[in-house]
Amino acid sequence: MSQHAPPLQKDWTQDEWLSLPEGPPYYELEGGRLVLMPSPHRRHQQVTGLLFARLYEYCRQHGSGTVVMEVDVALPNGRGYIPDIAFVARERGSMLLTPDGKVRGAPDLVVEVLSPSTRLRDLFTKLEGYQDAGVRFYWVIDPETLLIAEYELTPEGYVLRSHVEGDAVFRPRLFEGLELKLTDLLGD
């Protein structure tokens, strides 16, 4: 059964965006306009899946909160994104996690894994969007250059707290005791 594409040239509200049928195709909301999202490639999905599994297990063992993958996140600044991974701390879960599986508000962490087609948007547009919305931590992972960058929100905006390359160990500030190596997340 084919789905009709929504009109891209109209102004969309968050509620309208959230009511779109499940994709594909998938759309994000930026400035009242829908942005068609490309399908991720194999390496992107490997990194996202393996990182999700590590964070899920950590959160399960420590009771830290809820980690989700590729769900609609309606940010308080009117934007609507579908991050690769989002985390909501346990004490904020009842405020942000909706019964239909979406997130309304600023998660504590958002992770974007770069792809050639989304690289600039993830590094600039979305970084600004997450910062303006009050997302505490933003991780950018580049599987091509083997880099993890961790940004933390301060009153002045995002500050780069960690920049890990190659097979060096990444110790995220949000998850005490967790150690990650990007080379382990590549699954090769």
Q: Which two tokens stand for residue 3?
A: 């789905």
List pLDDT tens digits, range 86-124: 999 999 998 899 999 999 999 999 999 999 999 999 999
∠ Cα 10 116 88 (to 5°)? 70
List pLDDT tens digits, range 115-141: 999 999 999 999 999 999 999 999 999
Helix (H) or strand (E) holding 7: none
Report the predicted TM-score, pTM, of the whole model to 2 decimal places.
0.94
List of long-range contacts for 3-8, beta carbons under 8 Å, 24+ apart: 6/34, 8/33, 8/34, 8/36
**Domains along the chain?**
39-185 (3.90.1570.10)
